[in-house]
Amino acid sequence: MTVLITLTVAGTDSGPFNLYSNIDGFTSAFETGVSKASLLAGYSSALVPDYTTVIRVLSTGDCTNYIDITLDAPVTTTTSTTTAAPTTSTTTTLICFEYLLAGPGVSGEENTAEYLNCFGGLEIATAYDYQNVYFCANSIVTGSVSLQGPCTS
């Protein structure tokens, strides 16, 4: 999908930037080496993975800070015409995917992931030694997870 990404302020020692999506837990950049000038002017990227809800803009120069930009949820507009006045309704839908949080391969340890559930609430998933945990989420906030696909439930 195509998204216009704009920074309103960037520090003097920031940039260039890599761009990440919450779809894969911010692990693989979908754009690299984007200049500060481009982001300040408004950078249009057609490489944003479908169903992304959060873009991480990570400075890779002397400054290594990042900012997470939350995208608006997809909106569907339906217009119908009858003998009366036309009506328009707007529905906001949160898109959910199934993720896998793998348990560590060491007994007595745990992995955690913080995520927004399918209703937008913040939750934490915990996987203990050798255990895999599957969960449906709108977006991943923290943690290393693997995208499995559409939620089945």
Confidence check: pLDDT of 141 > 70: yes
pLDDT tier for residue 75 given thresholds of 50, 70 and 90: very low
Which has the minimum average pLDDT: 65-69, 83-87, 109-113?
83-87
Name the residue ranges covered by the structural domains of the chain. 3-70, 97-150
Asked whether residue 86 carries a pLDDT value surpassing 80, the answer given is no
Does the predicted model carry a pTM greater than 0.75?
Answer: no
Quick one: DSSP state of residue 41? H
pLDDT of residue 90: 43
Q: Is the pLDDT of residue 20 over 90?
A: yes
Kindly give the pairing relationship between strand 43-45 and strand 3-5. antiparallel
Strands of the 122-128 sheet, one edge to the other:
122-128, 110-116, 139-142
Other residues' Cβ atoms within 10 Å of the Cβ of residue 77: 8
**Three-state DSSP class for residue 147:** strand
CA distances from 114 to 36, 99, 122 (A): 29, 12, 7
pLDDT, residue 81, reads 45
